[in-house]
A and B are shown apart, each in its own frame.
Chain A
Amino acid sequence: MSNKNCSEKQEREDTLLIIDDDEINREILYHIFAPYYVIEQAENGEKGLDFIDANVERLAAILLDVMMPGMNGIQVLNHLKESGVLDMVPVFLITAENSDKVMEEAYQLGVMDVIKKPITPYIVLRRVQTVIELFQARRRLSSQVRMQQENLLAQTEKIVLLNQGMIEALATAIEFRSEESGNHVRRIHDITECMLSKTPMGEGFSQEEIQDIALASILHDVGKIAVPDSILNKPGRLTPEEFEIMKTHTIQGADLLDHIPQLREHNSYRYAYDIARHHHERWDGKGYPDGLVGDEISVWAQVVSLADVYDALSCKRVYKDAFPRERVLSMIRNGECGVFNPELLSSFFSVEEELSKLYVKGEM
């Protein structure tokens, strides 16, 4: 128990170190400060430095004489400055010195205050205590600020994760309605991310933008929420009227996203809006809803449109079985699902080997 108390005491900054070669001066200072601090004494500069090296954490302040045999006070100060101790522990020069040159040097080295001998107890006590309290308050404050910063960061991270979770939940809910598993949206996310990080399609995008686009890709079919079950889950071919209704999921999706104010402030919003509306546009202008041609279609909408086709062909859907990989690739190459940007296709084929690993049996 007594050991524990002792070690606790040592961990706080409660110790005052007096470095003075003269015993009489040390005793006077001891008598003044002993009621408030644990007092340690060193009779020369070398012993003082040794103590500081081993005990810097428990030091509240250092009282330092200037003229001492061997290493003098200014030399001690120089050492303390080099080792960075002067930034952590306030040092006071206590001296009979009158020379302006010495004072100036001491202040330049970073001494907190110079107190002249013969000392006046209440002045020494007050000056030293005020500075010690200042240092302790500063330390408390900076550790408080650091803790608050860490809390803020952790909270921000939670909010970001929650946002992503909400977006994924919304997208998955919609996929479930069309009797697909949540894996479709996850694969679209991964394909988009892979195409933008590993092929020339991603040139000019930062890692952060790529993450925002990949997250936005999840919402590409969000407009299907406005398409009736009878059309969405129809096993056979859609009639022309039904197909017209199906096509509206692009515009409906963009409108829906536009009506969520919190989403508008999200970095992913501008991508999500554009992808929802334009992921069925085609390079030759024969897509929908706006019939955009070539570069009129944004890079992210192009990437997601190809990812969507690739995933649809590779998996079983209510209206079709899964095609074998060779067949999927030849259909894409031959433009059977619409015409894609040639650069997009070559980028796609350069990473398709890796993408095909997403379609391991049992995970679709």
Chain B
Amino acid sequence: MNAETKKRLIEGGVDVEGALERMLGSETLLLSLLKKFVKDGNYEKWLISMDARDHEGAVEAAHALKGISGNLSITELYRLFSKQVEELRAGRWEEAQAMRPQIMEAYERATGAIRELET
């Protein structure tokens, strides 16, 4: 991984050092998993559930995204999904809804940086 790639990922919200530690230093594995994250269906499910005010579906998707973003050290996204899972579990739907733009922004920032790697 060159310095430029690493810089872009960090700007996208990925704690590259932390993530590499989890991958036992394997950059190949990290890059491969980040690409899989972009294609992961849970984000779609989350968007649809939030639109449909499907409480259960939203918790499931947010919880899954929390786990994945945590393991990939996409730090800000992990923090936001963790908070949203708590709000949803506590039945605070409006608060959870209010987090939506923030979460979408962090998600776009991360996936945008990752997509650039493919070229």
| Chain A positions near chain B (C-beta within 8 angstroms) | 21-25, 27-28, 31-32, 65, 67, 69, 95-99, 117-121
Main secondary structure of the interface of A (DSSP, over half): loop
Q: B63 contacts A96, CB within 8 Å?
A: yes
How would you classify the secondary structure of chain B's contact residues: helix, strand, loop or mixed?
A: helix
Assess whether A23 is in contact with B36, with CB atoms less than 8 Å apart.
Answer: yes
Complex interface bits, B11-42 against A, C-beta within 8 A gives 1, otherwise 0: 00000000001111010010011001100101
Complexed CA–CA distance, A227 and B100 (Å): 112
Q: Which residues of B contact A95 (CB under 8 A)?
A: 67
Interchain CB contact (< 8 A) of A118 among B33, B63, B64, B73? B73
Known: A24-B68, A67-B64. 13 other contacts (CB 8 A): A22-B40, A22-B67, A27-B32, A28-B29, A28-B33, A31-B23, A31-B26, A97-B63, A99-B89, A117-B66, A118-B73, A119-B71, A121-B22
Which A residue's beta carbon lies closest to that of B89? A99
What are 27 pairs between A and B in contact, CB < 8 Å? A21-B64, A22-B42, A22-B64, A24-B40, A24-B68, A24-B71, A24-B72, A25-B68, A25-B71, A27-B36, A28-B33, A31-B24, A31-B26, A65-B67, A67-B63, A96-B63, A96-B82, A98-B82, A99-B89, A117-B66, A117-B67, A118-B22, A118-B67, A118-B70, A118-B73, A119-B22, A120-B22
Answer whether residue B78 sits at the interface, using C-beta atoms and an 8 A cutoff.
yes
Whether B87 sits at the interface, judged by CB under 8 Å, is no
* Nearest opposing residue in chain A for B34, CB measure: A24
Which residue, of A21, A28, A97, has the highest number of chain B Cβ atoms within 10 A? Answer: A28
List of B residues within 8 angstroms of A21 by Cβ: 64
B-chain residues with CB within 8 Å of residue A119 when the two chains form the complex: 22, 71
Least distance between A243 CB and chain B CB atoms (Å)? 99
Chain B residues at the A interface, C-beta cutoff of 8 Å: 21-24, 26, 29, 32-33, 36-37, 40, 42, 60, 63-64, 66-68, 70-73, 78, 82, 85-86, 89
Give the complex CA separation of A98 and B40 in angstroms.
23
A31 touches B29 (CB 8 A): yes
Query: Given the complex, which residues of A lie within 8 Å of B66, measured CB to CB?
Result: 96, 117
CA distance A23 to B33 in the complex (A): 9
Q: Which residue on chain B has the smallest CB distance to residue A65?
A: B67
Most interface-central of B36, B67, B78, B86 (chain A CB within 10 A): B67
Find chain A residues with CB under 8 A from B70 CB.
Answer: 96, 117-118
In Å, the complex CA distance between A65 and B67 comes to 10
Contacts of B40 in A (CB 8 A): 22, 24
Given contacts A31-B24, A31-B26, A118-B22, contact A96 B33 (CB under 8 A): no
Cα separation A118 to B18 with both chains bound (whole Å): 10
- The residues of B that contact A120 with a CB separation of less than 8 Å are 21-22
Task: Write out the residue numbers on chain A whose beta carbons fall within 8 Å of the beta carbon of B86.
Answer: 98
| A32, B23: Cα distance in complex, Å | 8
Q: Smallest CB–CB gap between A285 and chain B, Å?
A: 96
Task: Please tell me if the beta carbons of A32 and B24 are within 8 angstroms of each other in the complex.
Answer: yes
- Closest residue of chain A to B60 (Cβ to Cβ) is A67
The closest CB in chain B to the CB of A95 belongs to B67
Q: Which residues of B contact A67 (CB under 8 A)?
A: 60, 63-64
Which chain A residue lies CB-closest to B75? A118
What is the bound-complex CA distance between A24 and B33, given in angstroms?
6
User: How far is A27 from B22 in the complex, measured between Cα atoms in Å?
Assistant: 11
Residues of B within 8 A of A97 (CB): 63
Complex contacts, A23 vs chain B, CB 8 Å: 36
A85 smallest CB distance to B (angstroms): 25
Q: Which residue of A lies closest to B33 (CB)?
A: A24
7 pairs of A and B residues whose beta carbons are closest in the complex: A118-B70, A96-B67, A117-B67, A118-B71, A96-B66, A24-B33, A24-B68
Report chain A residues within 8 Å CB of B64: 21-22, 67
Decide if A27 touches B33 in the complex (CB within 8 Å): yes
Query: Are B24 and A121 touching (Cβ within 8 A)?
Result: yes
